[in-house]
Structure 1
Amino acid sequence: MVLHQMACCANRKDPLKNYLKTKSHFVILRDGNILQLHPVSALLWASNGFNARSVAVEFAGNFPNTLGKWWQGDKYGKNHPTQAQFESGRYLVRYLMQTIKLTHVLAHRQSSGTRQNDPGPDIWVQVGQWAIDKLGLKDGGPGFKIGSGNPIPENWRTWKSPALTPELGQEPEDEFPEAEIAHDLAEWEADSWNEQEFGQRIAGALRSANVASPSFRDVGPLTNATVKTLRGPGFYMIKSQGKKPYIGQSTDLRNRLQQHLWCAEHLGVPSKNYRVFVAERPDIAKLGKKELQRQALRSVERRINATLVPTGLVANKRAELELEENAWN
């Protein structure tokens, strides 16, 4: 598995169509969606000397190096990788270990002298180095490179991005992708769930900051949530007994919950222990274009995160808020 950053193209109107010309087996979008563009058996001219026996994975965006410099940032954007991209990258590592017996994870810079910051320190430490430390994959060892490439810098292996410390470094090994809320799962007991009381605390915190609280309704365990009649954009809250909820947003609630369920099932997480609440937003659906819907949802999400993350009421990470703010600034 060879990790790449696009060094551009953080957002595309129709990513599946626009990225089809990308010479990569997989693309991981800013929202964590994983696009498979080619069969893993396809030979692609993506990774120089690694091409013959590798799977190329591109992360959408233009990311900085260890000096905080972007490659032609004024032209191609100044992005930071998102929490969702890290989690999806880790999921993809596990998936390929199961499906093709993946043993190595590499950086494109190791095979190309013109790709010094590919994929960059953030992607490497949170996906590549994580796979080495947690799952036992190999990267060729210190000093390994081929052709004109360069070894992985030592500071990439221990890199700490200010926006990601210390939360990511303290994640449990078996986190629930995209939600970060699976910690010592307890069996679900309906009579112990006091959603109303917790919802009142969240609503109170939001009101104190003059933020309109989404009106969440219970749609049942995660195993059942995706068969409910969910339409259009809105917010969702996922919670397990005794754990803080995670609040997210999507222009397609049903599809987003299906992604959570799919990830949980493929990683062996007992998704029945999670209960889902949704706040549908038909007013946002009336905006029509998906990008306008995303902007409206993110605007509310930023205010929610800014209010709730500091209180500790939710499992959302401060890093997510900071990365989102960086993206919008």
Structure 2
Amino acid sequence: MDEIVLANGRRTTRIAFGCGGLGGSTGWTPSRKLLTAAWDAGIRHFDVAPSYGFGEAEQFLGRAIKEFGSAATVTTKVGIGRGSRPGRLGQLVRSTARVGLAAVPGLRRKLGNKMRAAAPRGQFGTGFVRASVEESLRALGREHIDVLLLHEALASDLSPELLELLSEFQREGKIGVAGVGSRTESLQAMSWPLSAPLAMAQGVWRLDGQHLAASPEMATNRHGVVHNLPQLRSILEAHPAFAAEVTDRTSIHCTEPRGAVSLLMALALSEAPGGMVIAQSRDPGRVKELANARALSSAAEILTALRGMV
């Protein structure tokens, strides 16, 4: 798998595994299977946040990477709250709920959306950020976070006090790289390049190209790639000759469901040459396929054609 070098000099894989599907309704055993599938497929970077998995994902990831060893690298976030850890009764209720949620995916999505909407966001006071980083280190069972992102930060959140705290974390060895992970419109409203020590931007990747352009001054990571699947399928169904041409040029059978996902990953990798692309799935088999994606030499031409059909 292709690798990148982070701003602090540490090497890791260009494809990262998104841990939003860990914990919560998933539970430890399925979460471990997903993480192991990613590791066995060659992925060495894992993207998590305090709020993922109803507050359990960091802890689950920490348990798994103890087995994986020192080659694992981690991104986590600050600026958003974490779910409270349940007592015994809460654990029983959560365990029972997992069975129902697993059986009804639509209900799981609705509950997850409500939990995310209720999680406190935009908390960038230095006291909150310091406490969040310390709690993430404990949950992950690590002394160092490779990448720390300001989750959904606005330009107005990037105070001198916050930037100095991030620099302090770097001097203390608690974090390697600091950056911002926000919505496209929030990223576009910021002044580029970002102020030191911010050296990474992470945002959604869109098939129509309406995302933050890769910055030459810093790494630009992409997530949300698979969310473009309905749009891609619609285009390919409407233009069968083009779909056949893409298959011939790339050897990716893009009209097949898994082939379409592989094509999206390949295109996203081609547009983020200095950053990571975050793959996420609850299917261990799909995780392996996502990890096998590679950038395409013909990506620019294919994307130009696709965007002309959007």
Q: TM-score range by the shorter chain?
A: 0.3 to 0.5
Q: Which has the higher helix share?
A: 2
Pick 1 or 2: higher relative contact order, CA cutoff 8 A, min separation 6. 2
TM-score, normalised by the number of residues in structure 2: 0.34
